Structure 1
């Protein structure tokens, strides 16, 4: 019996069919071990030793694998053919060795680039040993990302409250996005004019020519920068005579693009299909693992994580055959096309992404695929086929024209292209972010010296057109253009770009707006902090050079511990220098670096940092546990605040101060609309502690009037007496949205507007429904959704409840959230005990008594003797963890390092 290990169950199911009954194919479900998210998982002082952790789900699968291996004669590790696949095989092998189930059993490693019967059987006939340098490269990357995250992130949390994390690749990608945004903000549009002449040939054909020179001066695109000069040139051309100086036609060839790599697939799917990088990889994974077609499951594309652009000889032969059948022999080049990678840091050599069977045309498989799968397969098929097709043959024509008039000369030029043979363009044309159809401009036939006439086109435009334009700032990055830029710079790996981008969005550092990556204030502050105090580690060249070292590790040219040691020595020293930095010093540095963004110059020339409320204070960046905002230096005397992203009164004139909406008829106090650090709110009067109410979700500041403001300020609203106990039901808007409240039970309402109209019947129904789900009175015992029984070791009931954040298991003081999509009524006691144990291991219980039992701290007296400190102070100090430990525990469900690289 042979046991084969792969990553996914879909892959295992397909391979099982190919190998037969002598093989048992089991899935590891991805990585089986990881570094636990706590301090000390990587130990630089112990030659970077790592402590790996197996989660409960992986433990169960590893037990199944170990039991199968006990009865087997041979273990075959068949995980993906890249660094991560090699690492998964290494982890599985390490666990099995610790379980002592291998003994003298034969262990082999096989790799295949496609999940087809032929590829699988060939791989089984050509096994190898585990690639140790490749595993070393994985260990180095994993340790680097952990060390950067768990060393740098706590510094961020202390110095910039509200910041989430920093990472080796994540932070550099974020810097690219923020740098581009800064370019856009400081950009100042420049006026320029373009001048075109509508020319008519003696034969009556029309075409357009642009100005390239005037009065002996060469004219570039932006050289005419005012209307007066444009008018002078236009007037001269309107009275000028025109003659053709020269006509040049040159043949040109346009070659097809190489087959897809991971990076180019993500870029092209973004441009042509509108897919996010993560969506592209999800769909490609399914196409790779296998689709059932005609009762047989087979992988439709080769492995989708690759930097290689070459494809197998048999695939080239198949492509040439299909091209000849579908387009004709003249579309097949004389020799097969061979491509080489241009990536700065090429990954382990694999084939490019291509269909496993090129005779399987998109129309043949579309009915077996969902719409996204069909679109992506068609894109991959067309790109692969086009890469082996004949070049397109173009004819590029340039007409140079001389204009004479009013004692001056001017030069004009017209260019155009004609496709003489479409070649690969008959099937596929690569998308571009700034795509223009250069083949659509065809010029008429004219002879040298021919006289031309400037004339209006259909009477709808001038014969000479002078148009005003303004320069535009560089565009924001799209996912496609950012991936392209990162690949050009050699930052990160194309196979991880998708998860890097997703991490930035999950951290709320970046938002995707109209396919553009827009940095949020939180992300810009993190970037500014890193540039100010850790500049070396967000430099593009430094990150790229580190990638090159990691490549050399995978090639066996460098020791992974040596690379880590060199990095850690400098990095830990840089962190130590920052630890004692005061927050005020950090704020000063950020004010300086982010000045153009948060304090842009005002049109009237006044000081952009002058407080608009008190006139004497200076505005400055401030931080709180909820993030950053702009506040006045005269606080608390002056309470002016402003959201970070709304400079100089933008979006509601935040800098103009409160907007009075009217007078409250009951109190006679002004009702005003204001902007604070958490958004717009309304306020009653100007007392020391005035009544305030934030605008609920869906309400906009421009739409606010006195009636709406008074409604908000009147909350909570009394709905009526509950028919069962005669106690009041109230309605209001809280942190989690609109609600009705009765005796400690909160029930959500659909919209904020419903708070002002909800009646007693609707309120009673909502409360009854909430109580039926177990949402009872706060502080009182809620009704369990399911009672599972007593804890077998510690005693006490183990129950399932429905909470504000979803269903959870409770034992004693430990609450463990159920995994997403888990049916709370189907969970067993055994599953619940695993969740409770895992949460307890993370510090899920309350342990306040530990502080009281700790021994008192001692302090040095003036003469050097030690003595205990006061009781309360000692208790506080002994109960507090180190700063780093607190930071890590505060993020127990979130990995703060750059897990996307």
Structure 2
């Protein structure tokens, strides 16, 4: 008996061909096989929302191949993905085959598996079911809703703003999030405030504390808002201290941190963005590859479970396998007494009933490294570690809070510290965060109530409140999930659409709305408020979930939505065109008023007398007018004009004009040079950069002075060192440059540990941006937060450097000390 198994992708077909016997033929549909006809009337709102489909051109040949194979098969199994989209694809294939009268008495059934392993596939094939129409109807309802918005609201945007724009049911609320955040940032007014700090000593051990109570009153954030106030407070504290501080309270607690749940689609996308630097679409593409199967030497196998899921739950067999792996590879205290259960937050978790996990935890990332691409390895490594960590014991910390008084009980400083005493799951994996820093660890010396400490200094630190951060892909995905906008499987396409439509741009991996995006959002929020409302969008998603659960009929949902949208569009046909603003300025060409308008390439200034008058001038991408070039003079060497301009990224100087494909030389003006103060001399010096200072007397290699993103710097043999503010990038000479570079080597040295045994190179501890580290030559190894600078020995530093060198070579870092030794494992 010949059987035909139909899947979506050729790679999935290739994997399944190896699992199933010779009685099976496996073909791919190459994704969706039918879609709505691309014109008005595809959803017939007058006749029960009948949907008119046609075969997608690019997949027509694959449909023909399936039809041909059906004729030669005795049984047809539809094994498309285990979600609404997969269910809909299966239904569309069935409908096409029925329309061609190819099925007749042949059984046509649906099979579902959430991982592509031989056992899972065989079990699914042995237990087929009928197509689940509630899932199909939920997908059809979503497609119809998106069509009704796109084909009816987008033309209004073309008429009122410009052609080529689009509105989307979930895309538009997502754009609203980005625009509203930008408006918050623009409206933000920074406030100055000061914090007061104490540096005290217990013998040689330091204690850092922050003032929390002053003159008997709790100190709030904005109680000290100027340098004058700060100096007054510090002066009074110093005067009353007599150089001593008294410990008045010591509180010790042990706290625990539990592991994060296994990955869902949303959390996988967020972590891939944060930790791996992937985009959401890239993360999903690589996850699809891992799911569909990779040849690992012994054959092709799916390495992870299905990656479109809202569920946190894991199969009992998988949990037991993970616990056994922990038991075999870690000390007993790393394994909780019972499995950890995670409750799904989503009201209607989608149809894939497991979280994302490895199909076999014994397939460690290290064992698969040679079979995976670098991207596949990174993502699999993260998924594997997260799944393992989710069943491990919590991490334990000893935390200490100490109150220290200065000049009496009315002035209280507080010091806090914590020490990791048991890593638990942290030995394997820690979750990333957005726009905040992880709580750090710091050690406090052993202190007791009544102890007197010597005061080193009391000082103030100036701060300014900062606006909320722009969204990254990770934080936008998190916000979309929190608001219930769309579903995790749609987040990547939402983000891609916002960029493809040029509604947003990415700057330093953060979303900034374009002026087009702002105008579209303003129009939609003012005239279609309901349809970009977060609550309305989330409620509609819940209704779609109810349809998928069989609890609601899909036609009434469409009818309610369409009648409201149709009436609103009719009302808004006569509203004024947005994006036009009359300026209090006359056209220099004809004298008529000028206005600000939105064009194909963004906003511009134009004459209201158009088309009779064609005067225009451009604006930059942020809506500000581009300046008219100011000619500073002529370069005596080239005879070309030197111009001062202001572009989208600030002021810059330019030498001459473009010649063919050769762009003119440009140089941004650093912050320390105000554009109004740039003359021909400074401009020529800027355009002459980078400047060769001379050859280093010790290495014989050149030293170059230049201006970069973070200001003036020196570059020598791959080493970069900022030029002090007391020196000029234009005039710093060779002796001073050598001196500054020498400062770079020893500036942050906290302790010199000794010479490296293999050469004469020095090993020392330095204070870096992310904490202390040991360094030998160009190799650096960061100290863990539980390690004290004073406790590091030369031998331990050598171990840290060796582990870092091994890791950089692509090996595995040294395992936690708590792990079992080989001998112990054998004995057990």
Give the alignment partner of residue 329 of structure 1, picking from 328, 332, 353: 332
Alignment partners' CA distance in 1, 2:381 and 2:412? 47
Whether 2:214 is the aligned partner of 1:214: answer yes
Give the alignment partner of residue 619 of structure 2, picking from 627, 639, 643: 643
Deviations 1:30-68 (A, max 9, x none): 000111222221111111111111133322222221222
Q: Please state how far the C-alpha of 1:512 moved relative to its aligned partner.
A: 1.8
Number of the residue aligned with 2:480: 486
Deviations 1:617-647 (A, max 9, x none): 8764313455432346677779463415455
- SS of residue in 1 equivalent to 2:419: strand
Give the alignment partner of residue 467 of structure 1, picking from 456, 461, 464: 461
Q: Please state how far the C-alpha of 1:145 moved relative to its aligned partner.
A: 0.4
Q: Please state how far the C-alpha of 1:225 moved relative to its aligned partner.
A: 1.1
Alignment partners' CA distance in 1, 2:644 and 2:208? 56
Deviations 1:844-874 (A, max 9, x none): xxxxxxxxxxxxxxxxxxxxxxxxxxxxxxx
Give the alignment partner of residue 623 of structure 1, picking from 580, 598, 601: 598
Alignment partners' CA distance in 1, 2:459 and 2:646? 48
Change (3 A) 1:196 1:662: closer
Alignment partners' CA distance in 2, 1:703 and 1:470? 27
Give the alignment partner of residue 659 of structure 1, picking from 611, 630, 637: 630
Whether 2:230 is the aligned partner of 1:236: answer no
Give the alignment partner of residue 380 of structure 2, picking from 373, 377, 382: 377
Number of the residue aligned with 2:772: none
Unmatched 5+ stretches in structure 1: 456-462, 593-607, 664-669, 683-691, 707-901
Number of the residue aligned with 2:45: 44
The 8 Å contact of residues 394 and 424 in structure 2, kept in 1 or not, is answered as yes
The 8 Å contact of residues 112 and 123 in structure 1, kept in 2 or not, is answered as yes
When Rg is computed on C-alpha atoms for both structures, the one with the higher figure is 1
Whether 2:496 is the aligned partner of 1:502: answer yes
The 8 Å contact of residues 343 and 487 in structure 1, kept in 2 or not, is answered as no
Structural mapping, 1:815-894, within 5 Å: none
- SS of residue in 1 equivalent to 2:410: strand
The 8 Å contact of residues 162 and 627 in structure 1, kept in 2 or not, is answered as no
Whether 2:7 is the aligned partner of 1:6: answer yes
Alignment partners' CA distance in 2, 1:187 and 1:703? 27
Whether 2:317 is the aligned partner of 1:314: answer yes
The 8 Å contact of residues 642 and 675 in structure 1, kept in 2 or not, is answered as no
Give the alignment partner of residue 290 of structure 1, picking from 286, 293, 311: 293
Change (3 A) 1:701 1:183: farther
Whether 2:417 is the aligned partner of 1:394: answer no
Q: Please state how far the C-alpha of 1:195 moved relative to its aligned partner.
A: 1.1
- SS of residue in 2 equivalent to 1:308: coil
Alignment partners' CA distance in 2, 1:14 and 1:387? 29
- SS of residue in 2 equivalent to 1:334: coil
Whether 2:569 is the aligned partner of 1:578: answer no
Give the alignment partner of residue 248 of structure 2, picking from 245, 248, 259: 245
Q: Please state how far the C-alpha of 1:75 moved relative to its aligned partner.
A: 1.1
Deviations 1:118-160 (A, max 9, x none): 1001111221111111101000000000110111111111111
The 8 Å contact of residues 212 and 219 in structure 2, kept in 1 or not, is answered as yes
The 8 Å contact of residues 283 and 373 in structure 1, kept in 2 or not, is answered as yes
The 8 Å contact of residues 16 and 25 in structure 1, kept in 2 or not, is answered as yes
Alignment partners' CA distance in 2, 1:695 and 1:447? 76
Alignment partners' CA distance in 2, 1:699 and 1:345? 58
Q: Please state how far the C-alpha of 1:115 moved relative to its aligned partner.
A: 0.4
Number of the residue aligned with 1:757: none
Change (3 A) 1:410 1:166: same
Number of the residue aligned with 2:308: 305
TM-score normalised by structure 2 residue count: 0.75
Alignment partners' CA distance in 2, 1:612 and 1:324? 80
Number of the residue aligned with 1:416: 417
The 8 Å contact of residues 613 and 640 in structure 1, kept in 2 or not, is answered as no
Alignment partners' CA distance in 2, 1:347 and 1:502? 22
Q: Please state how far the C-alpha of 1:672 moved relative to its aligned partner.
A: 9.5
The 8 Å contact of residues 162 and 628 in structure 1, kept in 2 or not, is answered as no
Structural mapping, 1:322-361, within 5 Å: 322-343=325-346, 346-361=349-364
Alignment partners' CA distance in 1, 2:642 and 2:15? 68
Whether 2:535 is the aligned partner of 1:541: answer yes
Alignment partners' CA distance in 1, 2:528 and 2:485? 17
The 8 Å contact of residues 603 and 623 in structure 2, kept in 1 or not, is answered as no
Number of the residue aligned with 2:672: none
- Give the number of aligned pairs: 656
Number of the residue aligned with 1:273: 276
Change (3 A) 1:136 1:234: same
Alignment partners' CA distance in 1, 2:23 and 2:426? 49
Alignment partners' CA distance in 1, 2:298 and 2:152? 53
The 8 Å contact of residues 514 and 622 in structure 2, kept in 1 or not, is answered as no
Q: Please state how far the C-alpha of 1:346 moved relative to its aligned partner.
A: 2.8
Deviations 1:789-820 (A, max 9, x none): xxxxxxxxxxxxxxxxxxxxxxxxxxxxxxxx
Alignment partners' CA distance in 1, 2:160 and 2:280? 33
Q: Please state how far the C-alpha of 1:328 moved relative to its aligned partner.
A: 2.0
Give the alignment partner of residue 530 of structure 1, picking from 524, 528, 551: 524
Structural mapping, 1:688-699, within 5 Å: 698-699=663-664
Alignment partners' CA distance in 1, 2:13 and 2:466? 53
Structural mapping, 1:56-67, within 5 Å: 56-67=57-68
The 8 Å contact of residues 660 and 672 in structure 1, kept in 2 or not, is answered as yes
Alignment partners' CA distance in 2, 1:228 and 1:86? 69
Unmatched 5+ stretches in structure 2: 635-640, 670-678, 681-828
Deviations 1:287-317 (A, max 9, x none): 0010001141000001011111111111111
- SS of residue in 1 equivalent to 2:598: strand
Number of the residue aligned with 1:95: 96
Alignment partners' CA distance in 2, 1:142 and 1:159? 26
Alignment partners' CA distance in 2, 1:576 and 1:659? 50
The 8 Å contact of residues 86 and 131 in structure 1, kept in 2 or not, is answered as yes
Q: Please state how far the C-alpha of 1:423 moved relative to its aligned partner.
A: 0.4
Alignment partners' CA distance in 1, 2:17 and 2:81? 16
- SS of residue in 1 equivalent to 2:55: coil
Alignment partners' CA distance in 1, 2:495 and 2:51? 27
Deviations 1:325-381 (A, max 9, x none): 222222110000110112365322521100001001000001001100001000000
Number of the residue aligned with 2:136: 135
- SS of residue in 2 equivalent to 1:321: helix
Number of the residue aligned with 2:83: 82
Change (3 A) 1:450 1:118: same
Alignment partners' CA distance in 2, 1:291 and 1:317? 25
Change (3 A) 1:415 1:698: farther
Q: Please state how far the C-alpha of 1:661 moved relative to its aligned partner.
A: 6.8
Deviations 1:148-186 (A, max 9, x none): 011111111111115521101111111111111111111
Q: Please state how far the C-alpha of 1:560 moved relative to its aligned partner.
A: 0.7
The 8 Å contact of residues 658 and 664 in structure 2, kept in 1 or not, is answered as no
Alignment partners' CA distance in 2, 1:613 and 1:451? 77
Number of the residue aligned with 1:122: 123
Alignment partners' CA distance in 1, 2:614 and 2:322? 73
The 8 Å contact of residues 641 and 676 in structure 1, kept in 2 or not, is answered as no
Q: Alignment RMSD, CA only?
A: 3.1
Alignment partners' CA distance in 1, 2:666 and 2:284? 41
TM-score normalised by structure 1 residue count: 0.69
Alignment partners' CA distance in 1, 2:251 and 2:184? 40
Number of the residue aligned with 2:183: 182
Alignment partners' CA distance in 2, 1:281 and 1:27? 20
